[in-house]
């Protein structure tokens, strides 16, 4: 019997834990969501003396609306990022830098929110705000697409149907924010309304949630 040559074992790409990524993401989101409230200033005594406390608080309405919308959509993006790690159990250098890029655009949201609340009647402020959220959503999609491309970062088998549902759900928000930009050239008020409705689509219960309930029930 002749000796068979030893077949070398396939090389495994080095992978890292996702714990540091999730910790960084939680910290960044916590800080960014807190910073949103700083755009709402308590009325000064001079403002109250001039128009009364009620009118001074009423003047904060654009700030309050922008705060609520942005806080909720940041919550949506935090949930989306968190849910991806139900499947993603390992990371590598590329995934780390995708997450850094994601955090960079997330950290920009207080600025674009403040711009929108102060100059909401200016189309450019709405475009900047929506472009910011499009960038967040696009990088979140890149995060999922990279992590699932060959499965080496996954801890669970990924069904093709689930993959399609996740991709569609991630892309829905950026697509609608792009639509809001187009609508703003016709009506800024209509574009503002669309920005209000987008987070609601993600907050309401959906069939998509059954994917994670089903996994946890096993």
CA distance 184 to 65: 18
In a domain, 213, yes or no: no
DSSP string covering 2-30: PPPPPPPPPP----B-SHHHHHHHHHHHH
pLDDT in tens, the chain (218 residues): 445 444 434 445 556 778 889 999 999 999 999 999 988 888 888 888 888 898 888 888 888 999 999 999 999 999 999 999 988 999 999 999 999 999 999 999 999 999 999 998 899 999 999 999 999 999 999 999 999 988 888 887 888 888 898 999 999 999 999 999 999 999 999 999 999 999 998 888 766 666 655 555 44
In a domain, 5, yes or no: no
Q: DSSP label at 156?
A: S
CA distance 53 to 60: 11
Tokens of 218: 């096993």
In a domain, 111, yes or no: yes
In a domain, 106, yes or no: yes
Q: Are 76 and 33 in contact (CB under 8 A)?
A: no
Q: Are 145 and 87 in contact (CB under 8 A)?
A: no
Q: Which structural domain range is residue 37 located in? A: 19-207
In a domain, 2, yes or no: no
In a domain, 214, yes or no: no
Residues 6+ apart with CB under 8 A from 175: none
Tell me the whole-structure pTM to 2 decimals.
0.84
In a domain, 13, yes or no: no
> Within 13 A of 203's CA, how many CA atoms are on the CB side?
11
Can you state the percent helix, strand and coil of the chain, rounding each to 5?
Answer: 75, 0, 25
Q: Using alpha carbons only, how large is the chain's radius of gyration in Å?
A: 22
In a domain, 98, yes or no: yes
Task: Indicate the number of domains in the chain.
Answer: 1
């Amino acid at each position: 019997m002749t000796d068979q040559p030893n077949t070398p074992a396939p090389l495994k790409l080095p992978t890292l834990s996702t714990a540091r990524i999730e910790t960084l993401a939680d910290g960044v989101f916590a800080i960014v969501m807190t910073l949103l409230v700083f755009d709402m200033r308590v009325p000064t005594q001079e403002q109250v003396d001039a128009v009364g406390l009620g009118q001074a608080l009423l003047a904060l309405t654009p700030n309050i609306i922008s705060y609520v919308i942005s806080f909720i959509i940041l919550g949506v993006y935090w949930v989306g990022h968190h849910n991806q790690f139900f499947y993603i159990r390992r990371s590598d250098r590329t995934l780390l830098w995708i997450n850094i890029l994601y955090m960079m655009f997330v950290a920009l949201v207080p600025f674009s929110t403040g711009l929108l609340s102060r100059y909401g009647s200016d189309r450019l402020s709405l475009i900047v705000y929506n472009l910011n959220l499009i960038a967040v959503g696009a990088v979140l999609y890149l995060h999922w697409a990279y992590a699932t491309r060959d499965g080496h970062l996954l801890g669970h088998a990924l069904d093709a149907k689930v993959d399609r549902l996740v991709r569609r759900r991630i892309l829905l928000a950026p697509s609608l924010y792009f639509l809001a930009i187009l609508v703003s050239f016709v009506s800024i008020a209509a574009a503002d309304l669309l920005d209000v409705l987008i987070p609601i689509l993600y907050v309401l219960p959906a069939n998509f949630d059954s994917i994670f309930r089903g996994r946890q029930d096993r």
